[in-house]
């Protein structure tokens, strides 16, 4: 089974004007730069839960290969982030497991398991609740995804609470590529005059949102946490 690792670095843009300027800048620098997707998302984050119960209760929706991969991640991961997502009309189960010293919720290097599930978002949420999970927070966002010539994916998000955020992402299949890939993404961001969102500030923002998510979910409301 070939493993995939998500390398992702975030930057806080804040305003729509800055997001538009970034896209314009990239369009001028890279002739192959193009938008590949656009969708509205609901993302529900969970904490706790019994890993063996999550695996068992999701079996009906997964192939044998997918079941094997999920069990492997659950066995090996020290920290995980379990989520459900509705992307337009598609429902997905999402699991992220940290593979460096950053968190599974917002880290720069993670193992990712993302699988479409043939049920409603509400039914999938109930499966996780039945497995001992608890809702941590509910998030909503508008996402535009772009692709650069070097395989880098750029996700420009309008997030409830956070405002405009951009993620620079690549997916690799070798652990020894992690640090070099991070450095390449940071060099790209520097060339674009985009400042990385520090992990400590990101964690403070994440904690604030989790404590007050009902004030932001599905709204235009934005907060600022330094």
Condensed to tens digits (0 to 9), the pLDDT of residues 69-108 reads 999 999 888 888 999 999 999 999 999 987 766 655 565 6
Residue 220 lies in a domain: no
The answer on pLDDT for 175 being more than 90 is: no
Residue 1 has what pLDDT?
A: 57
- Tell me, what's the pLDDT at 111? 86
pLDDT of amino acid 151: 87
Closest to 34 measured CA to CA, from 156, 188, 145, 190: 145
- Classify residue 224: in a domain, yes or no: no
Task: Evaluate whether residue 59 is within a structural domain.
Answer: yes
Q: Is residue 87 included in any domain, yes or no?
A: yes
How buried is 190 (Cβ within 10 angstroms: 0-12 exposed, 13-18 middle, 19+ buried)?
exposed
End-to-end CA gap in the chain: 42
Residue 42 lies in a domain: yes
Inside any domain, residue 66: yes
Residue 194 belongs to a domain: yes
**Structural domain boundaries enclosing 163:** 5-215
pTM of the shown model: 0.90
Q: Which residue has the higher pLDDT, 129 or 3?
A: 129
User: What are the helix (H) ranges across the chain?
Assistant: 16-29, 51-58, 64-76, 121-130, 178-191, 199-212
The domain total for the chain is: 1
pLDDT of residue 101: 62
The sign of the dihedral angle between the CA atoms of 168, 169, 170, 174 is positive
Going by C-alpha positions, the residue among 121, 77, 108 that lies closest to residue 95 is 77
Does residue 169 sit within a domain? Answer: yes
- For the chain, give the mean pLDDT: 92
Q: Which residue has 């379990």 as its token pair?
A: 82
Phi and psi at 224, nearest 5°, equal: -125, 125
Indicate which CATH number applies to the domain containing 196: 2.40.320.10
High-pLDDT (> 70) share of the chain, %: 94
């Amino acid at each position: 089974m070939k493993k995939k690792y998500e390398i992702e670095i975030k930057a806080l843009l804040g305003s729509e004007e800055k997001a538009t300027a970034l896209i314009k800048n990239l369009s001028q620098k890279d002739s192959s730069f193009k938008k590949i997707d656009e969708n509205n998302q609901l993302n529900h984050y969970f904490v706790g839960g019994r890993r063996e119960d999550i695996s068992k209760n999701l079996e009906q929706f997964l192939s044998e290969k997918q079941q094997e991969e999920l069990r492997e991640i659950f066995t090996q991961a020290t920290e995980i982030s379990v989520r459900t997502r509705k992307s337009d009309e598609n429902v997905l189960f999402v699991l992220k497991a940290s593979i460096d010293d950053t968190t599974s919720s917002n880290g720069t290097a993670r193992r990712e398991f993302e699988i479409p599930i043939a049920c409603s978002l509400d039914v999938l949420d109930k499966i996780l609740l039945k497995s001992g999970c608890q809702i941590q927070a509910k998030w909503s966002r508008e996402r535009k995804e772009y692709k650069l010539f070097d395989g880098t994916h750029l996700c420009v998000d309008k997030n409830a609470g956070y405002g405009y955020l951009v993620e620079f992402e690549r997916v690799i299949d070798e652990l020894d590529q992690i640090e070099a890939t991070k450095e390449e993404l940071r060099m790209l961001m520097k060339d674009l005059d985009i400042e990385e969102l520090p992990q400590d500030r990101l964690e403070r923002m994440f904690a604030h949102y989790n404590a007050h998510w009902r004030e932001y979910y599905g709204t235009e409301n934005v907060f600022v946490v330094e």
